[in-house]
Amino acid sequence: MGLGKSVITLTAIKKLMLDSFEVSRTLVIAPLRVASTTWPEEIRKWEHLKHLTYSVVTGGEKKRLQALRTPVHIYIINRENVD
């Protein structure tokens, strides 16, 4: 709720992926609204995060499978779609 949690986490992800190369992919699990809008908005909003690629894994099964097949840094999914 405006405390900077997402941008702090995304900055850490960026450092681990693009600076130190310790991580190759990341899965973010969040409530549906946060997964659909907040995380993508934060990635687009901050200049230092614009090199991160992401795929939102929500919607019907076909759409989710397509999103998972997309080669990106961050996969963002809602809790209901995690078994």
Domain ranges of the chain: 24-81
CA separation for the pair 60, 63 (Å, rounded):
5
What's the whole-model pTM score?
0.91
CA separation for the pair 65, 58 (Å, rounded):
9
Q: Give the HSE-up count for residue 61: Cα atoms under 13 Å, Cβ half-sphere.
A: 0
> What digits encode the pLDDT tens for the residues 17-74?
999 999 999 999 999 999 999 999 999 999 999 999 999 999 999 999 999 999 999 9
CA separation for the pair 37, 22 (Å, rounded):
27
Q: Which residues contact 2 (CB under 8 A, 6 or more apart)?
A: none
